[in-house]
């Protein structure tokens, strides 16, 4: 009887431990948050932030427009009001939103109101789409960036709106092996992305602006 009682006690204890562990995992998963930013070409912003510790995923898409479920062709043609944007899913226990925002401002040219680098037009302008609990951190990050840079920052802090993911062709573009025909000749998407990023002058301009404070230039 004693042995049976001990087995039952052990089994009950094990079930409790496993239950608490499962509950902890579920609670941890529910704590994940998102931050949506627009920084010009969404391939580049996605590639940058997926390298950040604590970021679980970065998805290329569109935000800030008036048309539901826009296509890439609609957005780049203009008239939908959307910006190319990236939604960053992160674990606030591992990285704070203030850190992500500070990195964002130093990964773009926030003085340029006409687009970003070689990509011109409203679609490629910059913005932070802040949720109510992110507005204070976003304004603080913008103020700090302006103080550090010593130039007027034109990147607006906007109210978070519906985010529409781009189609699969654009997701993880920087690491895809599929061969495509580019102006540089046939290349994998990964190599085409690197060639585009260099030719567009993104890293060169960011280094010029931010120097050693640029977190991703050259990535």
> Considering 41, 44, 118, 200, which one is annotated as catalytic?
41
- pLDDT of residue 6 exceeding 60, the answer is no
Cβ neighbourhood burial of 12 (10 Å; 0-12, 13-18, 19+): exposed
Q: What was the pLDDT predicted at 146? A: 98
pLDDT tier at 185 (50, 70, 90 boundaries)?
confident
Q: What is the pTM of this model?
A: 0.85
- Cα gap 96→52, rounded to integer Å: 11
Quickly state the pLDDT bin for 30 (edges 50, 70, 90).
low
Residue written as token pair 């050693």? 212
Question: Do residues 40 and 155 lie in contact, with contact meaning Cβ atoms separated by under 8 Å?
Answer: no
Cα gap 49→207, rounded to integer Å: 17
Q: Which of 11 and 62 is assigned the larger pLDDT?
A: 62
**What is the full DSSP assignment across 172-183?**
TGGG---EEEET
For residue 31, what are its two tokens?
Answer: 């704590």
Q: Are 108 and 155 in contact (CB under 8 A)?
A: yes
pLDDT for residue 41 is more than 60: yes
**Angle value at C-alpha 214, between 153 and 171, nearest 5 degrees:** 90
Q: Look up 41 and say whether it is catalytic.
A: yes
Query: d(Cα 134, Cα 152) in Å, to the nearest integer?
Result: 22
């Amino acid at each position: 009887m004693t042995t049976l009682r001990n087995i039952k006690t052990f089994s009950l204890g094990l079930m409790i431990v496993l239950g608490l562990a499962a509950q902890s995992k579920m609670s941890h998963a529910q704590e994940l948050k998102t931050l949506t930013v627009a920084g010009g070409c969404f391939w580049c912003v996605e590639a940058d932030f997926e390298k950040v510790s604590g970021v679980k995923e970065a998805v290329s898409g569109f935000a800030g427009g008036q048309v539901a479920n826009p296509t890439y062709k609609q957005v780049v043609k203009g008239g939908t009001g959307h910006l190319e944007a990236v939604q960053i899913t992160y674990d606030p226990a591992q990285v704070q939103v203030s850190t992500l925002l500070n990195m964002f401002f130093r990964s773009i040219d926030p003085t340029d109101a006409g687009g970003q680098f070689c990509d011109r037009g409203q679609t490629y302008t910059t913005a932070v789409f802040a949720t109510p609990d992110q507005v204070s951190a976003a304004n603080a990050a913008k103020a700090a960036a302006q103080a550090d840079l010593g130039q007027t920052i034109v990147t607006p802090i906007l109210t978070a709106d519906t985010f529409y993911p781009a189609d699969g062709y654009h997701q993880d573009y920087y690491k895809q092996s599929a061969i495509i025909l580019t102006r540089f000749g046939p290349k994998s998407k990964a190599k085409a992305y690197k060639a585009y990023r260099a030719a567009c002058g993104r890293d060169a301009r960011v280094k010029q602006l931010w120097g050693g404070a640029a977190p991703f230039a050259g990535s």
